[in-house]
Amino acid sequence: MSFYTSRKDKPEWLLREFPDIFKQARQVLDIGCDQKKIASLLPAHISYTGLDIIPEADIQWNLDSGVALPIKDKEYDLVLCLETLEHLEQIHFIFDQLCRVGSRYILITLPNPISRIFFSYLLGRKCTKKEVEQRKFGAYMKFYGLPFDRPFDRHRWFFNTEESVSFVAYRAKLNGWKVRDISYSLDTERGLKKYLKFLLAGFGKKRMYNFFNETTVFLLEKDVL
């Protein structure tokens, strides 16, 4: 399976990997939409709404306010939440809100902090060598380090792939949804490809994903009983 390698090509990848989902969708809600880059790529029949704290969003909203989203129940047949939940203190509340406002499908992406941090320290690879950026992010980890100054934004939760899978499955079921598909991004760009087969045999599949998966994509579907 192919995978996106940056935020820039993420929208194109999503439409390429989930074509049937976007063909079926009529109203899309993009929670944590940032600059709404996916909006211009959507088929003409889709009505798009972006929600975020920044002024560019169609609905400007603080996801950590603890207040329910200003959206009716089951209003959108496709809800996107891409690289957003990990930034929120109210991650459980907002996950439940995704389930409330969605009616058919939800697409969620979550990072794997263990992979990113483990190899940064192991290889001595710094996120940035510039002191001005270290004041914002920290030296080794953009969103998990100890920045010199208080950051505007950072990741709030430290977890591995296995934990994110369990979390999403649990809260999805709690809200009447089911996990239809999970996609993993195995990082083979650090010269580790030749060891993957060995790791599968020696460490097991779960451990391999915990160390080498960088991002997990979840496709949730409304569970119709």
Asked, for residue 65, whether it belongs to a domain, the answer is yes
Asked, for residue 70, whether it belongs to a domain, the answer is yes
Name the more confident of 126 and 46.
Answer: 46
pLDDT band (50, 70, 90) for residue 114: confident
Q: Which domain holds residue 20?
A: 10-112+159-191+214-222
Query: What average pLDDT does the segment 164-186 reach?
Result: 94
Q: With helix as H, strand as E and coil as C, how does 183-224 read?
A: EEEECCCCCCHHHHHHHHHHCCHHHHHHHHEEEEEEEEEECC
Q: What is the pLDDT of residue 190?
A: 45
Asked, for residue 147, whether it belongs to a domain, the answer is no
Mean pLDDT of the chain: 85
pLDDT at 194 over 50: no
Asked, for residue 202, whether it belongs to a domain, the answer is no
User: What is each CA distance from 97 to 34, 35, 118, 211, in whole angstroms?
Assistant: 19, 22, 32, 30
Asked, for residue 82, whether it belongs to a domain, the answer is yes
Taking alpha carbons only, the member of 37, 116, 45, 143 closest to residue 80 is 37
pLDDT band (50, 70, 90) for residue 189: very low
pLDDT at 6 over 90: no
Number of structural domains (the chain) is 1
Q: What is the pLDDT of residue 3?
A: 66
The first and second tokens of residue 104, run together, are 């058919």
Tell me: the pLDDT tens digits for 126-165? 767 777 777 777 766 777 778 888 888 888 998 999 999 9
Domain containing residue 97: CATH number? 3.40.50.150
Asked, for residue 122, whether it belongs to a domain, the answer is no
Asked, for residue 131, whether it belongs to a domain, the answer is no
Q: β-strands 27-31, 76-82: how paired? A: parallel
pLDDT band (50, 70, 90) for residue 225: low
Query: What average pLDDT does the segment 39-55 reach?
Result: 95
Name the more confident of 127 and 45.
Answer: 45
Tell me: the pLDDT tens digits for 209-223? 787 788 899 999 997
In percent, the amount of the chain with pLDDT more than 70 equals 80
Q: What is the pLDDT of residue 146?
A: 80
The reply to whether the predicted model has a pTM over 0.75 is yes
